[in-house]
Amino acid sequence: MDATVVYNIPHQQGLQVFIAIYFYLTGLSAGSFVISVVAYLLGKTEYKPLGKIGAFLAPILLVIAPILLITDLGKPMRFFYLFFNVNPTSPLTWGTFLLTIYPISCLIYLYYVLKGNQKMIKTFGIIGIPLAISVHGYTGFVLALAKFSPIWNNSLMPLLWLISAMVSGIGLVIFVAIVMEKVFSVSLAKFAGEMSTETSTGKMLAETAASSTGVMPLNEMLGGVGKYLAGFIIFDLFLVFSEILVLLTESEEAAALAASLLTGDYSFLFLGLEILLGALIPLFLLLHPRTSRSLAAQTVAAVLVLIGVMTMRYIVIIGGQSVPFN
Amino acid sequence: MSKGEVRYGMVIDLRRCVGCHACSVACKSENDVPLGVFRSWVKQVEKGSYPNVRKHFLPSLCNHCEKPICVRNCPTTASYRREDGVVLIDYDKCIGCGYCIASCPYQVRFINPLRGTAEKCTFCQHRIDNGVVPSCVNTCNGRARVFGDLNDPNSEIAKLIATQPVQVLKADSGTEPRVYYINPDAGAMKGGYGPDSKVHLERGRNWSLSTTEKGRE
Ligand code: SF4
Ligand code: SF4
Ligand code: SF4
C-alpha cells in the first residue's frame, strides 16, 4: 500500500552550483594540461601550438577555480584552516594540497614552454601529468565518497569525471586555437616558435616547429586532434550509458533519479543538451569526412562539447539532488 | 563505569509516538536552532483511504553513527566522534564547506545561516554531560524517545533493544546508526516530500553575520 508523505522538512543541498562550476574549471585545466604535454612529448611538432595554448590555459583556469570554492564556504575567511587541521581520510584534504602544488607545477611548466627548454618541458610535463589527473580525479572522489545522492556515491564517478575533463579540455584548446588565429589573427606557427627563438637552446627546435607547423594548415591540425576528441566523447558516452543503466536498477531513489534525467525535470538538459548537442552532434561533425576538416564545423563542435560538459557537471551536482532522499 | 565504556544511543518507540512534534519544538528552543533549519523533525505519512486511514510518524535526528562518514570526510577535523559515541562539530574549526552535508546519508546536517558553520543534533551534549536526558527525550509526552547507554545492560534502552525487534534507517549505508526505531513504517522510511515543498534548498547565507562572530556561538 502506498504511503503519502504529508509532512517533511526541506533539506539543504549537499553541494551547490558553485561546486559544479568549480569541477568544470578544474576539468578544463587538467584536460588542457594533459593535451599540452602530449603535444610536446609525442614529438609531434605540428601540434606544438596547441601544446602552448594548453600550457597557458591550465594555470589560468586553476587560479580562478579555488576562488569559487572559497566563496562557497559558510566561513570563507577560515579557508586556511584546511592547511592546519588536516584529515587524511577526507578527499577535500587531498584536494587542498593538490590545488596548491598543481598550479605551481603548471607555472613552472609554462615557464619552460616559454623558454623552449625541451628537456625541462619533458621533466615537468611528466611530473605534471599525474598531478593534473589527481587534481581532477580527487573531485571525482569527492562525489564518489559522498552518500547524499546515489548518482554520486558510485565507483564510476572518478573515471567519468576524468574522461569528461579530457573532452572539455580538448574542446577548449581547439576553440582557443581557432579564436586566436581567426579572430585575433595570431599566426599559431609563429606563436609556437616566437618565444623559444630568444634562447639559443630552443632555437633549433623553434625553427623545426615553425617550419613544420607552417606547412600544416589549422584545419588539418585540428582535424587530427578532433579524432582524439571524438574518441574521448565515445568513451564518455559509454560511461554515461553504464551509469544510467545501473542507476535504473540500483535502488528506488536511484531509479527515481534516472527517471528524472530520462523523462522528468532534467530530461531536456540531459538528453537535449548533454547527449544530443553536447556529444552526438559534435561526434558527427568531427568524424564525418565532409565536416571533419572544416574550421566552421570544428568551432561548432568545440563550443558544443564545452556546453555539453558544463551541462553534465550541472546535471550530476544539481540534478543529482532532484529527488527526495529522506 | 569509566567514560570509554559508555556508548550513547536512542530508541524511538513508534508504538508510543502520537506525532505531536513536541520534540522538534523542544529541540529548537533548547538549542536556539534558527528559522528554516531543524536538528530534529517528525515526518508524517498517510496510508489507506477513507474510512480506513492511518497516519505514521518518523521522528528524525542525527544517528550518531558508529562509523560516521561525516567525520571521515570532514577536511578540517571539525566533525569528530567522542569516545562515548556522540558525534559533534567544533564550531571554531568548521569552515562551512558543507561536505559533511553531502556525505551524510541521512540529511540531518545543515549550515547554520547565522553562524555559517555546519550543525546537527548533538544529543544535547550540554545536558547529558550534566546527567540530564536530552531535551526532546525530556519533552516527549508519549515517552516514545528513550536515551541511554547501550553498553549498560540494565539501562532502559539496552533492555528495549534486547527484547524488541528494532530497525535503523538506511541500514545499507554502512555507517552503523545508533538511533533505533521500534515499529517504523516502510513508507515513512523511504525518501519523500509533501506535495508543495521544494526538494533541496540552497543554503541560506547571511554574509555580514557569517564572516563575523555575531551569530550565536
Ligand atoms: S547520521 Fe549523518 S551526521 Fe549523524 S553521525 Fe551519521 S553520518 Fe554523521
Ligand atoms: S562544514 Fe564543517 S564540519 Fe562539515 S565537513 Fe566542512 S569543515 Fe567539516
Ligand atoms: S538530542 Fe537534543 S539536539 Fe538532538 S534532537 Fe534531541 S533535543 Fe535536538
Kindly state if the Cβ of B39 falls inside 6 Å of ligand 1.
no
Complete edge-to-edge strand list for the sheet that includes strand B8-13? B145-149, B8-13, B179-182
To the nearest whole Å, the CA of B149 is away from the closest chain A CA by 27
The pLDDT of residue B198: 67
User: Which ranges of B3-98 would DSSP assign to H, the alpha helix?
Assistant: 22-31, 69-73
CB B92 within 8 A of CB B118: no
* Pairwise CB contact (< 8 Å): A8 & B47: no
The pLDDT of residue A207: 46
- Checking phi first, is residue B143 left (phi over 0); if not, alpha (psi -120 to 50) or beta? left
Distance B76 CA to ligand 3 centre (A): 24
pLDDT tens string A195-239: 444 444 444 444 444 444 445 788 888 888 899 999 999 999 999
CB A278 within 8 A of CB A271: no
At A118, give phi and psi (nearest 5°).
Answer: -60, -35
The pLDDT of residue A191: 74
pLDDT tens string A45-83: 778 888 899 999 999 999 889 999 999 999 999 999 999
Q: Which atom of ligand 2 is nearest to the CA of A81?
A: 7
* Pairwise CB contact (< 8 Å): B107 & A75: no
Cis peptide upstream of residue A289 (ω within 30 degrees of 0): no
The pLDDT of residue A49: 86
pLDDT tens string A103-157: 999 999 999 999 888 889 999 999 999 999 999 999 999 999 999 999 999 999 9
- Could you say which DSSP state residue A76 is in? G
pLDDT tens string A247-306: 999 999 999 999 999 999 999 999 999 999 999 999 999 999 998 889 999 999 999 999
The pLDDT of residue B192: 85
* Ranges in chain B, pLDDT < 50: 1-3, 207-217
Of B11, B25, B38, B39, best ligand 3 pocket probe by most atoms within 8 Å of the beta carbon: B39
**Is residue A326 situated within a structural domain?**
no
**Is residue A77 situated within a structural domain?**
yes
**Is residue A144 situated within a structural domain?**
yes
The pLDDT of residue A193: 64
Residue A97 pLDDT more than 70? yes
- Judged by DSSP in three states, B198 sits in coil
Q: Assess B101–A contact: CB distance below 8 Å, yes or no.
A: yes
* Pairwise CB contact (< 8 Å): A252 & B200: no
d(CA B183, CA B165): 8
- Could you say which DSSP state residue B204 is in? P
The pLDDT of residue A46: 74
CB A106 within 8 A of CB A128: yes
d(CA B161, CA A50): 66
CB A308 within 8 A of CB A270: no
Distance A258 CA to ligand 2 centre (A): 29
pLDDT tens string B66-120: 999 999 999 999 999 999 999 999 999 999 999 999 999 999 999 999 999 999 9
User: Searching chain B, which residue's CA lies closest to the CA of residue A152?
Assistant: B102
Q: Which atom of ligand 2 is nearest to the CA of B99?
A: 5
Provide long-range contacts, Cβ within 8 A and 24+ apart, for B197-200.
B197/A8, B197/A10, B198/A10, B199/A10, B199/A321, B199/A322, B199/A323, B199/A324, B200/A10, B200/A11, B200/A12, B200/A13, B200/A14, B200/A321, B200/A322
Number of domains in chain A: 1
To the nearest whole Å, the CA of A289 is away from the closest chain B CA by 46
Can you give the residue ranges of every domain in chain B? 8-211
Task: Find the radius of gyration of the CA atoms of chain A.
Answer: 21
**Is residue A10 situated within a structural domain?**
no
**Is residue A5 situated within a structural domain?**
no
d(CA A23, CA A164): 11
The pLDDT of residue A203: 44
Q: Which atom of ligand 1 is nearest to the CA of B69?
A: 7
Q: pLDDT band at residue A1, thresholds of 50, 70 and 90?
A: low
* Pairwise CB contact (< 8 Å): A16 & B188: no
The pLDDT of residue A54: 93
**Which of A10, A142, A324 minimises the CB distance to B201?**
A10
CA-to-CA dists, residue A306 to A19, A121, A246, angstroms: 17, 27, 26
Distance B71 CA to ligand 2 centre (A): 9
d(CA B183, CA B186): 9
In CATH, what number is assigned to the domain containing residue A116? 1.20.1630.10
**Is residue A12 situated within a structural domain?**
no
Residues 6+ positions from A83 with CB-CB distance below 8 Å: A96
Block residue for cell numbers 516502510? B186
Distance A255 CA to ligand 2 centre (A): 29
The boundaries of the domain holding residue A191 are 17-321
Average pLDDT of chain A to the nearest whole number: 89
ipTM > 0.95?
no
Protein fold of B8-211: Alpha-Beta Plaits (3.30.70)
pLDDT tens string A158-168: 999 999 999 99
Chain A contacts in chain B segment 71-90 (CB below 8 A): 72-78
Kindly state if the Cβ of B94 falls inside 6 Å of ligand 2.
yes
At B66, give phi and psi (nearest 5°).
Answer: -70, -40
The pLDDT of residue A44: 64
